[in-house]
Chain A
Amino acid sequence: GAVVSQHPSRVICKSGTSVKIECRSLDFQATTMFWYRQFPKQSLMLMATSNEGSKATYEQGVEKDKFLINHASLTLSTLTVTSAHPEDSSFYICSARGKRDTRVPDENSPLHFGNGTRLTVT
C-alpha cells in the first residue's frame, strides 16, 4: 500500500491565491523529503530538498519565496505555492526517505513517492 500520502490530488485555484500541498509519510519517519515538478510530457524536475527541522535547499532557478516548504515534523512536509499564476500549473510530486525504513537497506532505499498533485491556476 501507499507509504507516502499526498493531498490534495487535484486543485484548481484562481490567479493570485495560494495553495498548500501536504506530503505525509505513513509508516516511517521521513528525515528527508523532496519536492518535484513535472510539466506535461517532461520529466520530474527537483525543486527543493528539505530535512526535518531545517530550512529547505532550493534548486537553481526555483524561487524560495514563491514555493514555501515546511518540514516541521518527521511525517509531514508542506509545499505552499504563493500568489499562484497560470504558469505554475503543473504536476507536483513529493518523495520521502527515512532513516529507519527497514523494507530496504538504508542507503539504497528507493524513494517513496506521493501520488502527486495536479495544480491548475486559472
Chain B
Amino acid sequence: GQNIDQPTEMTATEGAIVQINCTYQTSGFNGLFWYQQHAGEAPTFLSYNVLDGLEEKGRFSSFLSRSKGYSYLLLKELQMKDSASYLCAVKADSWGKLQFGAGTQVVVTP
C-alpha cells in the first residue's frame, strides 16, 4: 500500500520552533512537497525536496532522507499567521500526480 503519515496536530507558542515530521511509503518517488493550507483555502507551496538534505527558505526549512522515507518541515520564529494545516505530499510520477498526507494542524498560541 501507499502511506504518507504525519502527526494530526501540534501546538507551539509564538516565536518558538516547530518540526513537522512526515514518513512515506509510495510506489514511486519524484520529489516531496510541503504545502500550507488555511481553512477553506487552496494549498500554498512552501518547499520541494528531491535530493537528500536540507533546503532552507527564510523561516521555513525542509529536510529529506530518501533512504529512510522521511522528511520534516521546520518552522522557526513562529508567528500567529502560521496557524494552519501543513500538508506533506509525494510526487509519485514525473507528471505531477501528488499523494497527500492527512495534514498537520499547527496551532500557534500567544
Which residues between 43 and 80 of chain A lie within 8 Å of chain B, taking CB atoms?
43-46, 49
A99 CB, min distance to chain B CBs, angstroms: 11
A93 CB–B CB distance under 8 Å: yes
Please report the total number of B residues contacting A with Cβ < 8 Å: 22
A108 CB–B CB distance under 8 Å: yes
A91 CB–B CB distance under 8 Å: yes
A52 CB, min distance to chain B CBs, angstroms: 12
Complex partner residue of B41 from A34, A110, A111, A115, CB under 8 angstroms:
A115
Report the Cα distance A116→B94, complex, angstroms. Answer: 24
Contacts from A to B (Cβ < 8 Å): 6, 32, 34, 42-46, 49, 91, 93, 95, 97, 107-111, 113-116, 118
Q: Which 10 A-B pairs have the closest CB atoms?
A: A110-B45, A113-B42, A43-B100, A97-B96, A43-B102, A44-B100, A116-B42, A115-B42, A43-B103, A111-B96
19 contacts between A and B (CB under 8 A): A42-B103, A43-B100, A43-B102, A43-B103, A45-B100, A46-B98, A46-B99, A49-B95, A95-B98, A97-B96, A108-B31, A110-B45, A110-B48, A111-B98, A113-B42, A114-B42, A115-B42, A116-B40, A118-B40
